[in-house]
Chain A
Amino acid sequence: MAVTLPRPQAPAAPAQAAPEYGTLPAYHGFVSWLTTVDHKRIGILYGSTAFAFFLLGGLEALMIRIQLATPGSTFVSPDAFNQLFTMHGTTMIFLFVMPMSVAFFNYIVPLQIGAPDVAFPRLNAFSYWTFLFGGIFMNLSYFFDGMPDGGWFGYAPLTTIQFSPSHRIDFWMLSLQILGVASLAGAFNFLVTIINMRAPGMSLMRMPVFTWNTLITSFLLVFAFPAITVALILLMFDRLYGTNFYYAPNGGDPLLWQHLFWIFGHPEVYILILPAMGMVSEILPVFSKKPLFGYPFVVYATVAIGFIGFGVWSHHMFTTGLGPIANSFFAASTMLIAVPTGVKIFNWMGTMYGGAIRFTTPMLFAIGFVSMFTIGGLTGVMHAIVPVDMQHQDSYFVVAHFHYVLFGGAFFGIMGGIYFWWSKFTGRMLDEKLGKWVFWLVFAGFNLTFGPMHFLGVDGMPRRVYTYGANQGWSGWFGMDWLGWNMVVTIGAFIIMVGMLIFIYSAFKALRGPKDAPTDPWDGATLEWSLPSPPPVYNFAVAPVVRSRDAFWAWKRRPQAVEAGENVATLQVGGHTVGHAEFEEEHPSEEYLAQERNAYYADPATFHIPNPSFFPIIAAFGLTCLAAGMIFGYALSIAGFLYLIVAIGGWAMEPTS
């Protein structure tokens, strides 16, 4: 039964004392975006940049699909095809899903934990600019030697100088290093923010689940990225300085790359999916009007996924001949990691069970996430079985599997998050009617695109081939060469495109409309919904004191509960109780409150707003020049290095607030 609550009007914001800036002038217009250190603006920059890269990666996907729609197609050359699938994978992973998740971390996490900003605002800006320059640098390769063509996994020795003598791989490895710096800087920042900047009363077990997922994702980044950093450094030394790490004639072992890459690469897939899981864990309770079912289980399952995620990497390498003991271990650990994931899926279903479900666009995407991710998860468990994996290796079945978890999972989660928090980001609501069109088109297109890939894969169609013959059984329905599963897949891809074009239209339409989004359009459970849409630059004028999980739900219903003499706020729809929000401290003493207040009270006239700064963008540019010099000549490296040193010096000297 769908119950739609009336949307409340935004309450008139109480008169605020104007926030006082620090000692530096506040910039305006374009310059204010270059120098911003506000986590909300950086979140918007991250989100829009990542979306632009998504369009690029999507364009590459469409070109791949046009090429593969019919047998023997000559739409692109084999060489171009290699570049397309490499850049499609690299772009979607490093330039879209990761930074898009970081956009949500940036905008939402400080609001959810009641913080004024992230712990290191300038480091946050540095992280964004480094990501932007790294992404641009990677794509600049198009104008020089062509785009990288070694696959997103860049297996050595294919990527060594002997087999890839052009600069394509240099662009790839150097920009991945730059992007790694951006990811690590961001991860450190969010870890410190979440550990150290929670509002009074926001204990770890009262934290919103999205914040929990951000925390675990950041830990994964911190521990997983050094492995690929080292793998890329070794590759760089092999390519530039003639070392022997991946050079077999001198004893180098290609498996070293695979191990180092997948020690990073498998935690990476959880880095991609956990943020989306967090978003879904926020959306489902709100639109079921029930607190998340089994909150501690969801949290511990997330932690467990984080730990086990470091012990499964070799299941990407079953066909390399690691031997039965290693294969058995990694088969077992891979099956084990399905357990906490399954726990989460049952918790999401338990959340919806008996709830008063409202089928809004974010809810549809969240339900789409749960169902599609389950399919992708099941094919994942199939790959834990070594002989099955050996059959599926390098076939389209694997492509189907990881698109069900990354598109059906991460992307659906992100789309749900965009629809859910759009009003908070922009102060405007997205059109619900168009939103439903977007969902159903993308959902149908997605299943048409990636569902038949299961059949093609089991039928023997290999990955990364630029074409196939008419007689290979992957086309030729009703005696027509051009018709077959490959054509269906391509049609599906174009349906996704139509859905996304409607989304873009809807987004622009909303942005041109009036800024009239209510503060709390969905009856939200977490603190970000207590702030105006969009929130003021300083977020909370006063630190919120948190007394329970689902803090804002509890607060909205607290007066009635207190009147009734209860310490439980009841979530009701139409007189029907669907959930409770508990207060863990019913009547804090006045003394306690005064103490709590004093701890956070310093100077009523001064809000803590960090200064804008030019140094993050300068430092990021210096770092990029340092890396680019490895291709364009060391003079550029030296200039970039000096630039970086100057920026760090200025950064250290500059007053922060």
Chain B
Amino acid sequence: MSIAHDVHSAPAPAHGGGHGDHHGPGPLDGKWSAPVGHALPTSTGLDNRKLLMWLFLASDCMFFGSLIGTFMVYKGRSTVGPSPHEIFDIPYTSVSAFVLLMSSLTMVLALAAIQRNDQPRLRIWLITTALLGSVFIGGQYYEFTTFYSENLTLQHSLFGSSLFTLTGFHGAHVTIGIFWLLYMTAMSWTGRLNSEQPLFIEIAGLYWHFVDIVWIVIFTVVYLLP
């Protein structure tokens, strides 16, 4: 059966509803709308903001991958000391790594709390997580000061340059995370996390866990590998 090619005979490309088409549905069915303040339904069922965070973390993997790669390439190529085994205090850094890992546990507890809509508990766990993160950052500050006093500076050697750049960017990530957690705590305090889903905490948690996992890699590559 031949069908006329002339587009004149095709139904008008209506926008605004193909309901008059008695042959069946036009392409324009279903409303593109949602009540004010609510997100549209998504193709995957995953919230847009959560997907954005996953993609950002994927990109951040490459960022840390490049920094860690730089550190690995320059390992043992410094022209002057001190060398890693002379200045690293493994037990000390292990403790601060443990503190950071524990903050992942409290982050999970915070998420569990908001899923029950238990606001006071949520704030307790958020503040605890931020506190543990701050202990880690404080530990890093003390460690950097020690390194500087032992004549390892950003400019001194290749090892200093790559070590401070890598761990410094990780520390910056943790610091941003701490401010984010405090902001979430303030939102809970002022009651703005009530009606919202646990999503905000979940997204902050994704970021926080990622930063923790990166530290496991950095701790292994920088401190533990001989």
Contacts and interface: CB of A to CB of B under 8 A. Distances in A.
B194 to A, nearest CB: 16
Contacts of A229: 63, 66
B106 to A, nearest CB: 24
A242 B161 CA distance: 9
B21 interface: yes
Contacts of B79: 249-251
Interface stretch (B32-40, B129-137, B218-226): B32-40
Contact of B32 (A184, A237, A543): A543
B31 A600 contact: yes
A596 B80 CA distance: 68
B41 interface: yes
B148 interface: no
A73 interface: no
Given A11-B12, A11-B14, A552-B13, A222 B7 contact: no
Given A241-B155, A545-B27, A195 B16 contact: no
Given A542-B31, A601-B31, A197 B42 contact: yes
A86 B191 CA distance: 54
A569 B55 CA distance: 39
Contacts of A599: 30, 41
Interface stretch (B44-52, B85-93, B115-123): B44-52
B60 interface: yes
Contact of A587 (B12, B24, B157): B24
B40 A608 contact: yes
Contact of B7 (A523, A542, A600): A523
A196 B42 contact: yes
A631 interface: no
Interface in A510-541: 519-520, 523, 527, 529-532, 536, 538-541
Interface string B9-20: 111111111000
A243 B25 contact: no
B63 A655 contact: no
Given A119-B52, A251-B158, A531-B15, A572 B25 contact: no
Contact of A192 (B33, B52, B67, B70): B52
Given A116-B32, A192-B51, A541-B15, A227 B23 contact: no
Interface residues of A, number: 105
B16 A655 contact: no
Given A196-B48, A226-B60, A606-B35, A234 B70 contact: yes
Contacts of A607: 32-33
B149 interface: no
A1 B29 CA distance: 38
A65 B123 CA distance: 66
A311 interface: no
Contact of A602 (B3, B11, B31, B77): B31
Most central of B5, B12, B52, B58 by chain A CB within 10 Å? B5
B15 A540 contact: yes
B40 A116 contact: yes
Nearest to B65: A226
A541 B30 CA distance: 9
Contacts of B36: 22-23, 606, 657
Given A234-B70, A260-B66, A543-B32, A529 B16 contact: no
A608 B34 contact: yes
A573 B66 CA distance: 55
A244 B13 contact: no
Interface string A460-504: 000000000000000000000000000000000000000000000
Interface residues of B, number: 67
B13 A657 contact: no
Most central of B25, B30, B59 by chain A CB within 10 Å? B30
B196 to A, nearest CB: 12
Given A197-B42, A222-B58, A251-B77, A561 B3 contact: yes
Given A243-B154, A251-B74, A569-B3, A555 B27 contact: yes
Nearest to A578: B5
A25 interface: no
B160 to A, nearest CB: 8
B125 to A, nearest CB: 22
A607 B74 CA distance: 56
A635 interface: no
Contacts of A544: 27-29
A253 interface: yes
A120 B52 CA distance: 9
Contact of B35 (A532, A560, A602): A602
Contacts of B2: 570, 572, 575
B157 A244 contact: yes
A597 B29 CA distance: 7
Contacts of B42: 196-197
A6 interface: yes
Given A542-B32, A606-B36, A14 B15 contact: yes
Contacts of A547: 27
A632 B52 CA distance: 34
A251 B3 CA distance: 74
B13 A530 contact: yes
Counting from the closest, the 6 A-B pairs by CB-CB distance are A600-B30, A11-B12, A230-B66, A226-B62, A226-B63, A243-B161
27 contacts: A8-B8, A188-B52, A188-B56, A188-B59, A195-B43, A196-B42, A196-B51, A222-B58, A226-B60, A230-B63, A231-B66, A237-B161, A244-B157, A251-B157, A256-B74, A520-B13, A540-B32, A542-B32, A543-B31, A555-B27, A562-B23, A575-B5, A596-B29, A597-B29, A603-B35, A607-B32, A607-B33
Interface of B: 1-17, 21, 23-38, 40-44, 46, 48, 51-52, 55-56, 58-60, 62-63, 65-67, 70, 73-74, 77-80, 154-155, 157-158, 161-162, 165
